[in-house]
Structure 1
């Protein structure tokens, strides 16, 4: 008997799943450790969350491996699939994580400092725990490879583009899964113009035309585009020059942009949308206002890029569960054919639109995309 394990390290959580290998992997166990920090929680599917105390990414990996081993019984883990946020110019398709590949991916740490080191730390932990298993990396940037040049380039000296300073886009595993569901269930929409909104602690949007990514709000790093839980989103680079002139160093600026900005920075209260929605503080309301405004702005831009809009799809923790945010995003966008079914939206139904442009909620499953890649690699 054998099993596939998937590890998906985010900025504030670590998801995991165990599958039985098959042409279509069968899920046996899934869960996550969320709220990494002083009050981390573990939640297995079908069970209540339990506090596990202080935990960083390394401690979360150890807790997950201990939990998984307790559920394996006599089965052996023959393959481990990892979400790797940044593949750079080199990596697109899933790849076996050899020492040489890991060295190349480690060199990309500065491009995704909130994710890449944790992704690779999970690889090292899994290699130690399951030394005979095939370790496969799957890349968040892969879905966006092949963007048109105008969506890839910055207006900087051309040699920088050739060296890799370009828009990569992220959340590709989520977009891969969601577009696959659309293709299977709504082939008419899959041939059309769709904006997928991945809204969670990390947030981005993707313009998908004919099933292919042609634009993303995220760019060279996972900082760009929408405001996120603790990340700033789009920012005038002149702000950074101003802060540097005032004496802030690179490490201070990195700390601020990745960990002290976004919803947390604007509100001064929390990075968690649930907390902000429940708060009566005006700062919480202003942070939500800004978040919604930026989504609306990017949605209009992506519709323009594609020459129209046939559907909007919400996914991610906020996109799938925060009905008030979806309602506020769609409000006033009737000129794009978007109109919300309030009752369907309130219960997080799949189809929540009543206008000519469809509005869907699809629960993303990055772990399944990873498990499929491992199953293919195992043959």
Structure 2
């Protein structure tokens, strides 16, 4: 038995998961997902801030989860991290010192942007990392933080393979017409196209659908709603991504926690030319001060907004749901119909009122919810009369990364 470590690094966070890995078939398949047993998971949050914290969960063989208290964390040598290097150093020191440690087979990383060349998971070389760094301008809030742990761990463990799984890869084979902007061809040839994101989440849902849907359920035309602090939709036709709401960057599409989603490009020019804002100020506005936070003026957290009686909170929720329902209509057109609608990620999995509002605006498609099942966050939430299956399926991006890692290293 070997171990696979998965890292998901953000601007102020580091999520990790450690899997015990059996041998997997040499294909990126459902069996590869099932060949992994989650042993530990954790999260360094608020890195370098006053809110810095760390959490650790252990998963027993029977599936029971135990969260470590402060005393247990201290015994593991884990504490709030001052910076990302500190978090990585703490994590690896603890992993190496465990009594139950097994050989580390590989380390898998979530990398947000793979550009046009990286269309599937790869075992990284130093040249690959250098090329991926050139894509940082396409995902400035994510790419540098995804790659920093790779470089650090290549130095610390030169003999342990580092595997990158890309958020863009699931969308790489979309039809060319779905990826194009109506720009001059020379700009398109430079890579100014729609890439799509949240691909690891969509990949997981797509792989697990056969285990969730009844055998006789139609599954040719599926829309997955990944609704979290970042949010997007993906149209999946016969298991392949054919359209998505995110495009050149992770800013396009739906209203998000702090991101604006789609807006008129002329508005950006107005902010620069008429409001006197710099490009950096516009970037900060659209990425960090808009979305649910900007509309409500209260919070980017859907849980807080749902509890609030403020009219601004209700307006933010209404806009959030309206944009989802409107974009579902767009993706239904790309699919030529709809068989199944899947909700996933934090809001999608836990906000029954959001699902209810979206479903009500999709009644024209034949979407009808079982209100009691929806209120209980059950897996199947469509009513018996619904012409479209509606499901709540928790996503697991870390397991997809570990599966990619296991499959690549088994084939090598």
- Global fold match (TM > 0.5): yes
2:105 counterpart residue number: 78
Deviations 1:91-123 (A, max 9, x none): 011112211111111111111111111101122
Aligned residue number for residue 42 of structure 1? 54
Choose which of 308, 331, 335 in structure 1 pairs with 2:364: 335
Could you tell me which residue of structure 2 aligns to residue 107 of structure 1?
134
2:148 aligns with 121
Q: Compute the TM-score of the two structures, normalised by the length of structure 2.
A: 0.86
The reply to whether residue 240 of structure 1 matches residue 268 of structure 2 is: yes
**8 Å contact 1:81–1:374 — kept in the other structure?**
yes
Q: 2:394 aligns with which of 350, 358, 363?
A: 363
- Report SS of the residue matched to 2:204: helix
- Distance in structure 1 (CA, Å) of the matches to 2:80 and 2:310: 28
Aligned residue for 2:341, secondary structure, equals: strand
What is the SS of the residue equivalent to 1:242? helix
- The match for 1:183 is 210
CA contact (8 A) 2:325 2:361 kept: no
Unaligned runs of 5+ residues in structure 1 are: none
Q: Give the aligned partner of residue 224 of structure 2.
A: 196
Q: Which residue of 2 aligns with 1:92?
A: 119
Aligned to 1:282: 311
> For 1:295 and 1:127, how far apart are their aligned partners in 2?
41
Determine helix, strand or coil for the equivalent of 1:269.
coil
| 2:299–2:305 CA contact under 8 A, matched in 1 | yes
Q: TM-score, normalised to structure 1's length?
A: 0.93
CA contact (8 A) 1:202 1:229 kept: yes
- 1:360 partner SS: strand
1:41–1:49 Cα contact (<8 Å) kept: no
Mapped contact 1:206–1:217 kept (Cα < 8 A): yes
Unpaired runs of at least 5, structure 2: 25-34, 58-64, 71-78
User: Does structure 1 residue 212 correspond to structure 2 residue 212?
Assistant: no
State the distance in 2 between where 1:2 and 1:234 align: 44
**Post-superposition offset of 1:368:** 0.9
Aligned length: 379
Give the equivalent residue in structure 2 for 1:25: 36
Residue in 1 that maps onto 2:27? none
Contact conserved, 1:201 with 1:229, CA < 8 A, in 2? yes
CA contact (8 A) 2:226 2:232 kept: yes
* 1:73 positional shift: 3.8
- 2-structure distance, mates of 1:329, 1:376: 37
Q: Distance in 2 between matches of 1:42 and 1:127?
A: 24
Alignment CA distance shift 1:55-1:192 (3 Å): farther
**Structure 1 residue 11: Cα displacement:** 5.9
Residues 1:138 and 2:150 aligned together = no
SS at match of 2:361: coil
Indicate conservation of the 8 Å contact 2:81/2:87, yes or no: no
The separation in 2 between residues aligned to 1:21 and 1:196, in whole angstroms, is: 28
Which range is displaced more, 325-334 or 88-97?
325-334
The CA distance in 2 between the partners of 1:247 and 1:116, in whole Å, is: 29
Tell me, in whole angstroms, the C-alpha distance in 1 between the residues paired with 2:12 and 2:336.
36
Q: Are 2:400 and 1:374 aligned?
A: no
Structure 1, residues 32-61: CA drift from partner, whole Å, max 9, x if none? Answer: 344665324433333458796576655554
Check conservation: 1:226, 1:294, Cα contact below 8 A.
yes
CA distance in 1, matches of 2:39, 2:265: 47
